[in-house]
Amino acid sequence: MAEPKTLLVTGGAGFIGSCFVSQCIARGQKVIVLDKLTYAGHRANLAHVANGPCELIVGDICDGPLVAQLLQEHAVDALVHFAAESHVDNSIESPGEFITTNILGTYALLEAARQYAPTRSDFRFLQVSTDEVYGTLEDDGFFTEDRAKQPNSPYSASKAAGDHLARAWFHTYGLPVITTNCSNNYGPRQYPEKLIPLMIRHALAGKPLPVYGEGKNIRDWIHVEDHCHGVYLALTKGQLGETYLFGGRSERRNLQVVEAICDMLSELRPGPDYCSLITFVTDRAGHDWRYAIDDSKAEAELGFRRTYQQFEDGLRATIAWYLDNDAWCQEVTEEKEA
């Protein structure tokens, strides 16, 4: 498609969504952010683009009439759907919220877009998803776009359902849909419940660093800037109805990641023996063993390239950001505790 002038970004006040919004603003595009501002969505995530062409609408993606109004009112060229309940542990404890947001919310967006799309000849709907929908890998092999979905948690099942809906709306109604799936994201402004920011903050506070099981589970890590760049390439260069995967080609065992954080903190903020704080806890129920992505399709068809070729370089920059932005951490955590 041509470069979109106006985008509706759901979940744009979240970690990944706000990074995508920043990239759009840098390109001079207008962005309408629709975000419910639940525990992981914050106005603070958009503070650095406050002077740009960005408007935050506090609302629910399940509100179909609101979505329809925003599409029409702003003559939106593309709807990029980041909004999701995304923490696996939370999905195990409270799966209902994941069903509502990730399935019913996606349905509401698709329906609003289906009514709107005929009015815009070059409209696109991009469904942003996760590699967790593909289940788990053994010690070898990679996820590819043609792998069957085999989700193992309430979170991944709800995301897989959203992906299936998006596919069905393309094949049944001709809605111009593209889907992306990515590996574990890391970088600035990630809510402190996630592994990397959680370990940074716990270590600095002298708290235990909880690691599931023996810490041997393997994840592939992609910097959020690289992921969002890939999403935009898929939106503007991808084929309708297709799926594109984005990974970091940076597989690490969870324990390796935590130990790397401790070692880097020792250099950047010398203090106690951070590694001594590592504590092994009962493994997560249904814990997938390994995730790894082959994103050669995105490289070949979209020209996707990673800026952060080495995970450790991106990790060091991420730790430095958290050390320099403790006020942000305090604001987003206190905001949700209030």
Amino acid found at 198? L
Helix (H) or strand (E) holding 30: strand 30-35
**Predicted local confidence at residue 336, as pLDDT:** 59
What is the distance of C-alpha 327 from the center of its chain? 23
Q: How far is CA 308 from the centre of its chain?
A: 17
* The pair of three-digit structure tokens given for residue 46, joined into one six-digit string: 């958009």
| 295: annotated active-site residue | no
| Catalytic annotation present for 163 | no
- Would you state the structure tokens that stand for residue 132, as one six-digit string? 């967790």
Catalytic residue among 134, 155, 232, 308: 155
Amino acid (one-letter) located at 222: I
**Active-site hit among 35, 60, 77, 132:** 132
Helix (H) or strand (E) holding 96: helix 95-98
Angle in degrees, CA 162, 32, 13, rounded to 5: 65
Domain ranges in the chain are: 6-191+222-250+290-310
pTM of the model: 0.96
Query: Which residue, chain included where needed, has tokens 């009439």?
Result: 65
pLDDT at 87: 79
- Residue partners of 321: CB distance under 8 A and separation at least 6: 187, 188
The tens-digit pLDDT sequence of the chain (338 residues) is 789 999 999 999 999 999 999 999 999 999 999 999 987 899 999 998 988 899 999 999 999 999 999 999 999 999 999 999 987 888 999 999 999 999 999 999 999 999 999 999 899 999 999 999 999 999 999 999 999 999 999 999 999 999 999 999 999 999 999 999 999 999 999 988 889 999 999 999 999 999 999 999 999 999 999 999 999 999 999 999 999 999 999 999 999 999 999 999 999 999 889 999 999 999 988 899 999 999 999 999 999 999 999 999 999 999 999 999 988 888 888 765 55
Q: Which strands make up the sheet holding 54-58, listed edge to edge?
A: 54-58, 30-35, 6-10, 78-81, 124-130, 177-182, 243-246
Backbone Cα Rg of the chain: 19
Q: Tell me, yes or no, if 331 is annotated catalytic.
A: no
What residues pair up with 129 in beta bridges, in sequence order? Answer: 181
Rounded Cα gap, residues 283 and 278, in angstroms: 14
**What local confidence, expressed as pLDDT, does residue 335 receive?**
63
Say what the pLDDT of residue 307 is: 96
**What 3-state class would DSSP assign to 2?**
coil
Q: How far is CA 204 from CA 4, 33, 188, 263, 335, in A?
A: 43, 33, 17, 13, 20
CATH 3.40.50.720 corresponds to the domain 6-191+222-250+290-310: yes
Catalytic hit among 35, 85, 131, 145: 131
Residue 334, pLDDT score = 74
